[in-house]
């Protein structure tokens, strides 16, 4: 449907003159902020800028329909929307542009993100949840195009769960009976991304209260929309999703970005429809403009014709809004000029206040450093050089913190031959600054609250001879059953998880027992399975999102890496999404479903815990630990372990396995063998073979790769055996190399090594098919025996002659 002002009762009937003039003021304040922000970048006071000019009117209309409890997952041009809600002041806007690291000045990211990234703080300082129903909520933005869409699906799906799952009705700080709408925004060019289409399809299937607004200015940086979109119109492409009287689907609305009345009507209608009926809505806002081009990186005059540039000036939304106000007699041109002048002055005032606060902190540190360097110089043989460095630092124009710290470090290097007392004050100041800068730039990669997974109390599994021997999958089944029965926030979803209880039967029978809202099937869509998990976790629920096989994790890796893993870091503890991703991998045979790309996971998922349990007893304990914490994690179960027999603990569902604590599976004195997951059985088999030929191997299961050996267990073993081999199924240079690096860098073992530390990974290629393919592709017990024997031959060739 297309909404035009004349098709419905005039907006003037339900929007007062005062409110319309307030909207005009917000629009021009936002526009002046964009114009001044660009100048700040060109003056060198900010690194980069991307702005929301040309999108003001539609965002004001969206803000009118947005209610407390609702969530936004959006686009980095949504500044006007945030300003209209009162969730972003102009001063905060410029504080982010300058990258002010003070969370009070820049609450969205504490200066960790470039401008245009908007987040409200869902958490109190102690990590507890605020009452999200009393807030306007904005999920922390990410820059990869369209990556906000999968999370949006999850935010909307949470409302569906809160409405349909009666067990959640007491969680009133998170939802009011599922009445919350998830509002998404996206640029028209980004609708070409697969994440967008996958999210649209999933929302149509699930029928969730989601409103997607497409800001269509006709371009994707320099590329016009005819190169992006079939028919040049995303709403035309998606007309097959339009709901009918007999078929569920989307409501699709087209509206012009300069038409104030139609915009207000469109967003009001969309919000009420989504809120009351849980119908997803797509609003295609056409004929938007981008007055300053894409960003400060270039000029749009290079790729837009003179005719297009003239059209953008003539149909600028603020210009048309001004004409609308004058034509309807709401205000005179002089009245609007006065508002514009006042807005410009106010923006300038707040900009200057933001710069004063930002630069003032650094100038204070600069002056302290200059004074200390000068004082230290007086008694130093490097006086002339030190005074020159202090003088250059003091004269810096628009200094940044790097200038200050770099000068201090160079000064301390110059002072290396001076007595410790002479440079003590400067060195103490620098050490204090290192702590402050760690907090400013490196804190909150993981939770720093009392809910950290590392603070969960350890509760051992109770296993004895009376514990029944069962398939490993039955231990997980018992754990999930217990948790579903005792925690209404907990639910699981993924491909084949529901009716058949997952492909390995750990959820067998649990959908029938606990219902489809607790154990749920999804379509084949790993990216939005991850997004669904992130969004629901952001709203206080405790999801397990299943990725059927480890190889399929690649489909969701961007969401996990760019969004989930960095969430606590990029909000400096302001938001959390304790999603658990469940998957399986390792020893299955074949090129696919058999990979162990742990190096990729370790590189991309810093900020998540990476658990690699050797069996299902350990896996269940790790799940319990994670569910008691407020952190995201991935648990990689052993694909060949579901039918192996284990003893069912008496306290299944209650015991925990601590993260970062390796376990010694077999003691030994000659060599330390470090591994994890399915390799534990391989290495233990080899260790027993080695025992028969007189080699005593100590076998250690690291249990988690992130965090890695917080107890120093491996180092302690190496100090005893003086030799170590790290074995796993990843490619060379992957997780085995990571483990080696962690131990060498952090456990002070080099001086205790009598032999070169070694790794035993899989081959560089993916595993070949069949049992033979497995044997010749991944480390076998024979490989371990041979590797250890060769090591011992080098130590004692007489006792262990060459084979």
Catalytic positions, written as ranges: 593
SS3 readout for 33-49: HHHHHHHHHHCCCCCCC
Per DSSP, 123 falls in state B
- 759 in Cβ contact with 732 (< 8 Å): yes
- 151 in Cβ contact with 559 (< 8 Å): yes
Residues in the chain: 803
- Distance separating alpha carbons of residues 632 and 580, to the nearest angstrom: 6
284: β partners = 214, 254
Taking the CA atoms of residue 298, residue 301, residue 304 and residue 305 in that order, the dihedral angle to the nearest 10 degrees is -170
SS3 (DSSP) at 450: coil
Taking the CA atoms of residue 202, residue 205, residue 210 and residue 213 in that order, the dihedral angle to the nearest 10 degrees is 60
Closest CA to 502 of 525, 485, 522: 522
- 626 in Cβ contact with 470 (< 8 Å): no
- Distance separating alpha carbons of residues 724 and 734, to the nearest angstrom: 17
- 653 in Cβ contact with 480 (< 8 Å): no
Q: DSSP readout, 139-208?
A: PPP--STTTHHHHHHHHHHHHHHHHH-GGGTT-TTT-STT-PPEEEEEEGGGGGSHHHHHHHHHHHHHT-
The string over 178-189, giving b where at least 16 C-beta atoms fall within 10 Å of a residue's C-beta and e elsewhere, is: bbbbbbbbbbbb
Compute the Cα dihedral for 267, 113, 151, 123 and give only its sign.
Answer: negative
**Count of alpha carbons within 13 angstroms of residue 44, beta-carbon side:** 5
């Amino acid at each position: 449907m297309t909404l035009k002002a004349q098709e419905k009762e005039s907006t003037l009937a339900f929007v007062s003159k005062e409110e319309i003039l307030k909207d005009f003021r917000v629009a021009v304040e936002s526009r002046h902020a964009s114009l001044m922000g660009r100048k700040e970048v060109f003056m060198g006071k900010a690194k980069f800028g991307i702005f929301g000019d040309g999108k003001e009117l539609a965002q004001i209309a969206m803000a009118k329909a947005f209610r407390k409890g609702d969530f936004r997952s959006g686009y980095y041009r949504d500044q006007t929307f945030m300003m209209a809600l009162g969730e972003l002041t102009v001063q905060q806007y410029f504080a982010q542009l300058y990258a002010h690291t003070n969370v009070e000045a820049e609450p969205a990211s504490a200066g960790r993100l470039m401008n245009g990234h908007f987040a409200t703080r869902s958490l109190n300082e102690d990590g507890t949840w605020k009452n999200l129903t009393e807030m306007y909520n904005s999920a922390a933005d990410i820059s990869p195009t369209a990556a906000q869409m999968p999370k949006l699906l999850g935010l909307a799906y949470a409302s569906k769960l809160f409405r349909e799952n009666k067990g959640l009705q007491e969680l009133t700080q998170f939802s009011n009976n599922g009445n919350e709408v998830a509002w998404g925004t996206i640029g028209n060019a980004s609708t070409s991304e697969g994440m967008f289409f996958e999210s649209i399809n999933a929302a149509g299937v699930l029928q969730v209260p989601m409103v997607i607004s497409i800001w269509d200015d006709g371009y994707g940086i320099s590329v016009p929309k005819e190169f992006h979109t079939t028919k040049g119109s995303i709403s035309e492409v998606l007309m097959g999703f339009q709901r009918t009287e007999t078929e569920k689907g989307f409501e699709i609305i087209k509206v012009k970005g300069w038409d104030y009345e139609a915009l207000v009507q469109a967003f009001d209608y969309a919000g009420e429809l989504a809120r009351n009926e849980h119908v997803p809505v797509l609003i295609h806002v056409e004929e938007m403009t981008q007055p300053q081009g894409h960003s400060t990186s270039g000029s749009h005059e290079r790729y837009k014709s003179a005719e297009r540039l003239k059209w953008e000036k003539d149909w600028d939304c603020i210009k048309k809004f001004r004409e609308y106000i004058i034509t309807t007699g709401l205000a005179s041109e002089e009245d609007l000029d006065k508002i514009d002048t006042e807005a410009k002055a106010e923006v300038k005032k707040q900009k200057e206040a933001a710069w004063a606060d930002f630069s003032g902190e650094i100038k204070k540190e600069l002056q302290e450093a200059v004074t200390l360097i000068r004082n230290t110089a007086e008694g130093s043989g490097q006086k002339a050089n030190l005074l020159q460095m202090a003088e250059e630092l003091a004269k810096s124009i628009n200094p940044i913190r790097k200038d200050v710290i770099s000068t201090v470090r160079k000064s301390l290097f110059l002072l290396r031959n001076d007595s410790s007392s002479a440079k003590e004050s400067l060195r103490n100041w620098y050490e204090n600054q290192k702590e402050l800068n760690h907090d400013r730039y490196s804190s909150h990669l993981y939770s720093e609250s009392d809910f950290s997974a590392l603070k969960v109390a350890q509760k051992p599994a109770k296993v004895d001879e009376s514990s029944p021997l069962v398939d490993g999958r039955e231990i997980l089944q018992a754990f999930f059953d217990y948790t579903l029965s005792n925690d209404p926030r907990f639910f699981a979803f993924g491909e084949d998880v529901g009716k058949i209880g997952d492909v390995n039967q750990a959820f067998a029978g649990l959908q029938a027992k606990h219902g489809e809202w607790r154990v749920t099937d999804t379509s084949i869509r790993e990216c939005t399975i991850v997004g669904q998990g992130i969004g629901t976790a952001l709203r206080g629920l405790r999801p397990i999102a299943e990725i059927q096989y480890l190889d399929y994790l690649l489909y969701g890796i961007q969401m996990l890496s760019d969004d989930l893993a960095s969430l606590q870091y990029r909000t400096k503890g302001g938001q959390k999404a304790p999603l658990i991703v469940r998957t399986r991998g390792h020893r299955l045979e074949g090129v696919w479903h058999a990979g162990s790309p742990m190096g990729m996971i370790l590189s991309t998922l810093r900020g998540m815990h990476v658990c690699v349990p050797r069996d299902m007893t350990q896996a269940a304990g790790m799940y319990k630990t994670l569910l008691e914490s407020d952190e995201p994690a991935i648990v990689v179960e052993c694909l060949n372990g579901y039918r192996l027999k284990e003893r069912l603990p008496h306290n299944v569902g209650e015991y925990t396995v601590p993260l970062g604590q390796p376990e010694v599976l077999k003691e030994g004195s000659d060599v330390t063998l470090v591994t994890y997951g399915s390799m534990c059985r391989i290495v233990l088999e080899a260790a027993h073979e080695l025992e028969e030929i007189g080699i005593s191997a100590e076998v250690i299961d690291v249990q988690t790769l992130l965090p890695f050996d917080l107890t120093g267990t491996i180092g302690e073993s190496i100090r005893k055996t003086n030799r170590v081999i790290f074995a796993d199924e990843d490619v060379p240079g992957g997780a085995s190399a990571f483990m080696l690096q962690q131990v060498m860098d952090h456990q002070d073992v080099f001086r205790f090594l009598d032999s070169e530390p070694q790794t035993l990974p899989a081959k560089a290629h993916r595993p070949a098919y069949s049992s033979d393919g497995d044997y010749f592709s991944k480390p076998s017990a024979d490989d371990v025996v041979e590797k250890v024997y060769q090591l011992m031959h080098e130590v004692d060739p007489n006792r262990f002659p060459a084979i």
